[in-house]
Amino acid sequence: LAGFEGKHFISIDKLSNEELRGLLDLSKKYRDTYGKNATVDPVTAPKPLTGKSVSMIFQKRSTRTRVSTETGMNLLGGQALFLGPSDIQLGVNESMRDTALVLSRFNSIVLARVFSHNDVLELSKHATVPVINALSDMHHPLQTLADLMALEDHFGDLKGKTLAWVGDGNNVLHDLMLGGAKLGMNIRIATPVGYDANAGVIETTKKLGAENGTEDVFLTTVASEAVKGSDVVVTDTWVSMGQESEYEKRVKEFDGYQVNASLMKHANPGAVFLHCLPRHPEEVSDEVFYSEQSLVFPEAENRMWTVMAVMAAQLGKL
């Protein structure tokens, strides 16, 4: 991970395969060192980020991203500052550019959850310290690291495994398809008409898939077609943050896309289920969400090990 020092973490396609591998391995190492089963005394556990800090700009709500980053930074010896939408001048009184230049003088890393992906690009253009994209309308790369970690814990090597996405062609899907393709997974996607994944991200995924020996990306509007022959079924909310006014329209147009026991029957025996959370019953039944097949809570826990790995690697202090 030597080459990752000082780099921004904006979307999964910007990582080399070696960087992706290194971040997943470091995440597992941190779980061994700081997790519930660790044998190390927390008092004497290494604190490689002592004296470091991350400021966390949140334009939207968060449970996992906020708590995992604050707690994880603390475990590594550093400090995290939560900056909610009404805590700082940004957006009301101050530009992203000026915010980037100022926070870079105080903090070692700036993390941001924004509406428009352009905002995180603007932040990374002007910040003089590494930036972490903590979710934009286009990308959610931290989530993908946690998802791939959960899948590797379950399956081991993911090369040749098949991942099916059923639902909205959104931010969470974008990085997951990019990251899955990098690790050699076949990608199958079912989205309703008008809710497709971004065309550019599909193209990049096809290219990464070809480089890593996967089948071509399979696109359909029929949920059971995508799930056929898959080892992993993934969905997310049909109504992302910022789309609340479209709730009724979306719920109508996503009819038939719920992941439930009858849909899971089309997957391979032993298939597992993922969801980034927060979850609503319309996109996944309780029966699947709380089943033995569901990895959603280890997946959520991994958000902490993976963001710790990203921050330590950006600061070159593992």
Using the minimum distance from each CB to ligand NVA, give the nearer residue, 127 or 276. 276
Q: Which of 75, 177, 183, 276 is catalytic?
A: 276
Binding-site partner at residue 144 among ligand CP, ligand NVA, none, CB < 5 to 8 Å by type: none
Q: Is residue 11 at the binding interface for ligand NVA, with CB under 6 A as the rule?
A: no
Q: Of residues 241-270, which lie at the interface with ligand NVA (CB under 6 A)?
A: 241
Binding-site partner at residue 55 among ligand NVA, ligand CP, none, CB < 5 to 8 Å by type: none
Interacting residue with ligand CP among 27, 62, 133, 235 (CB under 6 A): 62
Phi, psi values for residue 234, rounded to 5°: -130, 140
Stretch that binds ligand NVA, among 73-81, 149-157, 165-173, 208-216 (CB under 6 A): 165-173
Q: Is residue 302 at the binding interface for ligand NVA, with CB under 6 A as the rule?
A: no
Whole-angstrom Cα distance, residue 264 to residue 259? Answer: 7
Q: Is residue 276 at the binding interface for ligand NVA, with CB under 6 A as the rule?
A: yes
Contacts of 31 (CB under 8 A, 6+ apart): 302, 305
CB atoms within 10 A of CB 276: 25
DSSP letter at 4? G
For ligand NVA, the nearest residue by Cβ is: 240
Is 139:145 a contact under the CB 8 Å cutoff? no
Q: Of residues 268-287, which lie at the interface with ligand CP (CB under 6 A)?
A: 276-278
Stretch that binds ligand NVA, among 11-19, 25-33, 43-51, 169-177 (CB under 6 A): 169-177
CA distances, 7 to each of 2, 4, 10, 96 (Å): 11, 5, 9, 19
Q: Is 276 a catalytic residue?
A: yes
Residue with tokens 């044998």: 39
Q: Kind and range of the H or E element at 263?
A: helix 261-264
Is the four-CA dihedral 253, 283, 10, 216 of positive or negative sign?
Answer: negative
Contacts with ligand NVA, residue ranges (CB under 6 A): 135, 170-172, 236-237, 240-241, 276
